[in-house]
Chain A
Amino acid sequence: MRNNDGWGVNERLAKVDPHRVDLVALYRSMLRIRTIEEEIAARYGEQKMRCPVHLSIGQEAVAVGVSAALTAADQVVSTHRCHAHYLAKGGDLTAMLSELMGKTTGCCGGRGGSMHLFDLKAGMLLSLPIVAASIPVGVGAALAFKQEGKPNVAVIYLGDASLEEGVYHESANFAALKKLPVIFMCENNLYSVYTNLQDRQPPRPLTELGRAHGMPTAHIDGNDVQAVHRATVAAVARARAGDGPTFIQADTYRWREHCGPNYDNDYGYRTVEEFTQWRDRDPIARLHTELLALGQLDTATENTMKAEFDAEVTQAFGAAEAAPMPVPGADGVGLYA
């Protein structure tokens, strides 16, 4: 199964029937995340969010397509670039913005900052800023599911660069060996900071790194939320059936700088043409066009949606700003359980 962009889905995955999917819900989730992150970018200069931020703008389809295939009890783990993963899984918005502002109401009480987002209620187990560090942790969550006989799945979001770390291979080997209910969701946005994939890895499909560990793989257009969703549904079905892990490569693109609120196309590590090509493949605009054609969206609905998100974001920023800064020592140090 191959579309004309060269993406292909492994035979075994293609046989699984995709769920019927609520496209408007996918659209809403992507638009909401975009609205939130655009607002973070717009307000970053106020210096109230005093920590690094790695925005997911442009990559929303992966997080949203994946989360729509999961339940709250399923777990996801993420990286430094965790905003979209957290929000799509149902992470609390005020707790996220508060964390960026170092407030008591932050998900980490201000201790972690933007790269440590988690929400236990939402099944967002953790985010870790050390490249590939969360991969084995996600496998461990899957191990717990298996040991406890639970029907749940763990999804590991990993960047293209994390495949270069030894710990990816150690984790993938074990996950496949033990047939653990886990999905390696590799977001290939072509870059590690300013370094292109081709300067870091030999020219071979990333999916080979899943196949080498005995996993079925899929290579999908990560800016097509429906493709992401289909592939995840198939992988989740495999995992829940006890058939073990799946590796999915989702090609996508980060619009803004690696870390921070700005665009950095003038920096010289990537071309404006490349950026423009990917921006034109905006996952949100694409689904928008499709929904209009399907008659599932109209301007009035869209405007209501936008107003709703604007209000939610304004409210959440207000709540985060109004929340107190932590008082050192007030809650004890809490170093040990």
Chain B
Amino acid sequence: MPEPRIITAAEAVREALDLALSQRSDTYLLGEGVADPGGIFGTTKGLVDQYGPDRVVEMPVAENGLTGIAIGSALMGRRPIMTHQRIDFALLCIEQLFNTAAKSHYVTNGAHRVPLTVRMVIGRGWGQGPQHSQSLEAMFAAVPGLKVAMPSTPADFKGMLLASIEDDNPVIFIEHRWLHYVSGDVPTGWYTAPLDGPRKVHSGDRATIVANSYMTLEALRAVTALAKRGCEVDLFDLRVLRPLNLSAILDSVRRTGRLIVCDTGWKTLGLGAEIVAQTVEGAHDALKRAPIRIGLPDYPTPSSLSLAEAYYPGSVDIIAAVQKLCDLKEDDAAAAREEVVALRQGVPIDKPDPAFKGPF
């Protein structure tokens, strides 16, 4: 076994982009800030010095137009990797993404390919508020023709990004800002982590938990605390929102009979709604309890700290859901709750959790 190589997810992204630029001459980066000193939270830092401004293209503040331009170049065989520092800014691009990118291959009966990767960052924290911290993944995942990837581990940040770049379809690659700081073992060199389905993070028979992106860490913390109290559950990191492959999750529910979905977006009409619906369609006879969805309430992200505290669910809510579904004893649930709260070290909810540094 080689020594583990611990780097952050942000470093993993940079490594993937560096590899893509060096090993594939058809790739180029495009975005506001890709060539600036900040380098998209460090993920593109210095790449312009190495590859020049034609491969690392600082773009005008013109998201929709440049998306179309990226698509046009992709039709001609280029592999653009576009970046938005906030997923909220990508709302300006949805016309091109939904109408052109998502449909070109289908409409031309397979003649067109759009090998476009679009990175979008969820900017949670520090009072960013209603238009700078949204979790809009369900909206992108609602459109056939797009693929939507949402990594949670540093190894997946790199491997799934390279898989997205290799993919001949438009891939929306959604990075939760707080995961950039998380570290883990990341292989060197070019490798891909296929965009094929969820990854099992923890095993147990009592319930099935499905989480995505940042919520995988919240869920893992809850699951670890519960395991110490003898309550073992299955935990899946969803990884890929479209194409949505739930077969492993349905198999798990057939065994546990209990399902909890916790995701980064709005609960109503969100990821959880689709996952519960497919589970009911495919395994309703196995369900022993009504599934529970954990997601954001039906209003915009408030800026104020006290309002944000009520807005974001976390590991405490996941423990409560498991307690309810598995009839957990209050003593055990309380101990698990105390443990996860202590791990946060009293850090306010508008800052990244110190317990999530990793390595994971």
Contact = CB atoms under 8 A, between A and B. Distances in A.
Given A110-B302, A200-B61, A328-B309, A130 B127 contact: no
A206 interface: no
Contact of A111 (B32, B298, B303): B303
Contact of A116 (B60, B65, B130, B307): B130
Contacts of B348: 50
A110 B38 contact: no
A130 B63 CA distance: 11
Interface of A is mostly: loop
Contacts of A200: 58-61
Contacts of A129: 129, 131-132
Interface string A92-132: 00000001001100101111111110000000000011111
A337 to B, nearest CB: 14
Nearest to A100: B127
Contacts of B32: 192-193, 195
A199 interface: yes
Contacts of A116: 129-130, 303
A333 interface: yes
Contact of B298 (A113, A166, A333): A333
Contact of B127 (A52, A109, A165, A325): A52
Interface string B125-140: 0111111100000000
A294 interface: no
Contacts of A193: 32-33, 36, 38
B257 to A, nearest CB: 34
A115 B129 contact: yes
A300 interface: no
A263 interface: no
B61 A162 contact: yes
B247 interface: no
Interface of B is mostly: loop
Question: What range describes how many residues of A lie at the interface?
Answer: 35 or more
A110 B307 contact: yes
B15 interface: no
A165 B61 CA distance: 6
A83 to B, nearest CB: 15
A165 B65 CA distance: 8
B99 interface: no
Interface in B28-81: 32-33, 35-38, 58-65
A267 B302 CA distance: 31
A288 B286 CA distance: 79
A333 B126 CA distance: 21
A183 interface: no
A114 B88 CA distance: 17
Given A130-B88, A328-B309, A102 B36 contact: no
Contacts of B61: 131-132, 161-162, 164-165, 192, 200
Contact of B58 (A102, A106, A199): A199
A160 to B, nearest CB: 9
Interface string B292-325: 0000011110111111011100000000000000
Contacts of B305: 50, 102, 325
Contacts of B307: 102, 110-111, 326, 328
Interface string B263-278: 0000000000000000
Contacts of A114: 127
Contacts of B350: 50
A328 B33 contact: no
A194 B85 CA distance: 13
A50 B298 contact: no
B92 interface: yes
B303 A110 contact: yes
B237 to A, nearest CB: 29
B128 A113 contact: yes
B89 interface: yes
A111 B130 contact: yes
Given A50-B348, A129-B132, 7 more contacts: A111-B130, A112-B129, A113-B127, A130-B91, A268-B37, A269-B36, A333-B297
17 contacts: A110-B303, A111-B307, A116-B130, A116-B303, A130-B131, A131-B89, A164-B61, A165-B61, A165-B63, A193-B38, A195-B32, A200-B58, A269-B36, A328-B307, A328-B309, A328-B310, A333-B297
Interface of A: 50-52, 99, 102-103, 106, 108-116, 128-132, 161-162, 164-166, 192-195, 199-201, 267-269, 325-329, 333, 335
Interface of B: 32-33, 35-38, 58-65, 88-89, 91-92, 126-132, 297-300, 302-307, 309-311, 348, 350
